[in-house]
Amino acid sequence: RWGSEEETYSLLRNAAIDPVTCPRGPDFDNIQWQGFEEPSQHICTVPISNAGRLYGYLMVGANPRRPIDDDHEQFMRDLATQTSSTMAFFVSMEESRKRQNSLENQLAASERHIRYMADHLDVGLEHLNLDGKVIWANEHYFSLIGQEPTTDFQTLRLPFKSHVLEEDQPKILAAWEAVVKGTSTNTTEFRMKKLWTPPSGPPIDATVLLSAIPYVEDGEIKSVVACMTEVSRLKWAEAWQARAAYEAQEAKRQQSEFTDAISHEVRNPLSAMLQLANGVSGCLEDITEEDASPEECLQIIQDNIEAAKTIIFCANHQKKIVDDVLILSKMDFMLLTLSPSPSRPLDLAQNAVKMLHATISEAKIDLKVEEDESITKLGLSWVLCDPLRVAQILINLLSNAIKFTRQESRRCVTVCYGASIEEPSNSFGEGFAWASSKHEQEDVTNGEEWGDGEQVYLTFCVKDTGPGMTEEERSRLFSRFQQASPKTSIKYGGTGLGLFISHTLTEKQNGKMGVISKPGQGSTFAFFVKGRRVPVPPTPSSESTQEFVFRQLKAAQENVTPDATVSEKPKKVQRPNILSGPKIPQYLDPSDVVYHILLVEDNIINQRIMRAQLIKAKCNVYVANHGLEALDNLRRSDIWEETNGTGHKLDVILMDVEMPIMDGLSACREIRSLEKAGKLTRHIEIIAITANVRQAQVDRALDAGIDEVMSKPFVVPQLLTMIKSRLGR
């Protein structure tokens, strides 16, 4: 019953699940009753709840004229059910409203976050319908295509013709077709018409990575979301890295070739020097053992004098190579300086020619020096320049012209000099290809030692009637350690440094170097350097002007290797007579012969010296200048099947590797092929005599069929020991 507070709480707890009817307490005495206006004797407490949640209670006074029976209890239960249902409906509506408001707020916040991110991402976003019209796009999208942002999206379509390079438009169209017809993401790269400026180098086409994502509902594509990311920096970095890797690999390859060339150029004369020194050291023993006559002693002395001259000649050749490498080292460390002095253009040209007079005469080349009319027009008699560096360039170009012309039927070289006030790049006619400049050079003539005379450019051309060059060969010129063709060093000799050094020296003097050439029409090399006009200087008291210039040019010759071969000698060193004497018997008495040898060597000095040493060692020696001559000699030998053993006897072949016409390895492969074909009656021993001594080069020689490699330099006793071990006798 309703009573105390504690009793009331207990009653409510009991009514939390089902209605509870109890007698009326005094708390209800002052209530105005409805119905019969009689106070109810019982109060029914009806719980209002839903889904286990209690919302409150409904207090109902029972009809005082009806008994509290089962019908009453059932009515109360029905009333509780109806009341709870009604309350649940109103509560559900309120909660739905609150939940909807919450979801709307969350959605709005999420949209704000997404839009904020979309507007601040470095990614262009656009939403397109299947017709290619833009539904929405962020600001970065407009930045990527180079267009002002707009909200009028209906006028926008895929940026084909207006923003993408024409050659990449098919890629965009193909990607679009693929994504609207399929359900997978499509990714492609394309280039924009706008340019992107890298950290270094010229501007390049901007590159964009496009990812097109289909938006699918109920298995059907409704629209497309496109993400555009500019990858210009990445593409530039990839290209730069690839270029750097290629250049590093190419530099390594070129340096390897340079090392091989230097090794070959140094070892070749060194081998001759060792063999000559070995002969000189044993001459006393020859005199005492053979009881030589005075005439024979005189011949031995003359032979030793010629051997000494040859050793000096070879040593000078090696010195030139070392000087070239030193000049190159100075260039690398920026230690090369200019020393301006008054010079006459005519003296520069004529004295460079005089320095190579011996080589020109030997090669029987018709050489002319011509003055351009610009000298007279400008009234230029003297100019302040560095005659040493100009001489280095001229001697290099002249030496190359001589080298490539000496084998031609028509041998002409023309040197032309002139001058110009303006930079004369366009003064040499069409088709002239200038070497690219790698460094910005300060104006050297601004130095105090150059004075304040008028700035002028000296121009020089060296034209030859050599074989000329293809466009590909021209592109390789002026590069470090490179020649026009990999075969150039074999056919004409040299290390490939001359033009690189000349080009660098020209740039050092604010000038350029270039060439025009066609196969079969010869080549014309030209360069110009910057200087200043000076008045006629007083003649130095200690030496004449001519002597002064000549002294400078002589110093230049000591510091320049014009890609020279052994056959291109300095002026003061005469070619030793060992090339034509002393007389060596062609064949020895058969009873005295130890070995029958075919010597294949293109270097005349090495060939002559080695043949003399081998004959002295009681060997019968046949000589060939290249691989084809070696094969021709082989066909006349006793091992050639068709001679039936009647040809000259042959025990071993000494094969140089690098030779013109046919190199040693090619000749060796041909000989081994002849052996397999049965053209030779037995295996012939082939020993390579080469300055190429890196293991990879030795392996290539062995793979070609060489039996053993004798590296230069060597002396004949070492060679004979190897021959003995190979032949077993």
User: Do residues 468 and 524 share a domain?
Assistant: yes
Question: In this predicted model, which residue has the larger pLDDT, 462 or 314?
Answer: 462
Last residue of one domain, picked from the residues 327, 347, 376? 327
Most confident of 116-125, 221-230, 483-492: 221-230
- Max mean pLDDT among 314-323, 393-402, 550-559, 671-680 falls in 671-680
Output the average pLDDT for the chain. 80
**Statement to judge: residues 292 and 357 lie in one domain:** no
> 83 and 147, same structural domain?
no
Q: Stretch 442-471: mean pLDDT, rounded?
A: 90
Whether 577 and 599 have beta carbons less than 8 Å apart is answered as: no
Number of domain units in the chain: 5
Residues 51 and 145 in one domain: no
Together in a domain, 370 and 494: yes
State the pTM of this model. 0.45
Where is pLDDT greater, at 537 or 303?
Answer: 303
Mean pLDDT across 583-592: 46
CA distance 508 to 510: 6
Domain-located, residue 579? no
What pLDDT was estimated at residue 568? Answer: 35
Higher pLDDT, 51 or 489: 51
Q: How far apart are CA 466 and CA 515, in angstroms?
A: 13
Distance of alpha carbon 348 from alpha carbon 382, whole angstroms: 11
Q: Which of 55, 60, 56 is nearest to 22 (CA)?
A: 60
In this structure, the answer to whether residues 345 and 405 fall within a common structural domain is yes
- 108 has a pLDDT exceeding 90: no
Domain CATH for 176 = 3.30.450.20
Domain final residue pick, 299, 327, 355: 327
Helices 345-355, 387-405: axis angle to 10 degrees equals 50
Q: Per-residue pLDDT tens for 69-79?
A: 888 889 888 88
Has residue 508 been placed in a domain? yes
Identify the domain boundary among 49, 80, 95: 95
Question: Residues with Cβ < 8 Å from 711, sequence gap 6 or more?
Answer: 267, 690, 691, 693
Mean pLDDT of 238-247: 88
Q: Which of 537, 515, 527, 395 is nearest to 466 (CA)?
A: 515
Residue 598 is predicted with a pLDDT of: 96
491 shares its domain with 375: yes
CATH of the domain at 718: 3.40.50.2300
Residue 563 has pLDDT above 70, yes or no: no
37-41, 335-339, 386-390, 623-627 — which one is most confidently predicted on average?
623-627
Are residues 22 and 139 both part of a single domain? no
Contacts of 102 (CB under 8 A, 6+ apart): none
Is the per-residue pLDDT at 259 higher than 90? no
Strand (E) or helix (H) holding 240: helix 232-281
Does residue 115 fall inside a structural domain? no
Q: What pLDDT, on the 0 to 100 scale, is given for residue 638?
A: 93
* Model confidence at 330: pLDDT above 80: no
Between 441 and 446, the higher pLDDT residue = 446
Query: Do 467 and 532 have their domain in common?
Result: yes
Nearest C-alpha neighbor of 325 from the set 495, 517, 576, 112: 495
pLDDT band at 354 (very low <50, low <70, confident <90, very high): confident
The Cα 262–Cα 325 span in angstroms is 9
Binning pLDDT at 50, 70 and 90, where does residue 547 land? low
Residue 585 confidence class, pLDDT cut points 50, 70, 90: very low
- Of residues 235 and 156, the one with the higher pLDDT is 235
Q: Is residue 10 situated within a structural domain?
A: yes
* pLDDT band for position 703 (cuts 50, 70, 90): very high
Contact 471, 485 (CB under 8 A): no
pLDDT over threshold 50, residue 50 = yes
Residues 341 and 482 in one domain: yes
Residue 496, pLDDT score: 54
Dist CA 248 CA 76 (whole Å): 98
Whether residues 589 and 627 share a domain: the answer is yes
Q: Are residues 383 and 458 in the same domain?
A: yes
pLDDT score recorded for residue 331: 64
Q: Which of 119, 147, 121, 124 is nearest to 228 (CA)?
A: 124
705 within a domain of the structure (yes/no): yes
Provide the domain limits for residue 218: 121-230
Range with lowest mean pLDDT among 28-42, 380-394, 656-670, 712-726: 28-42
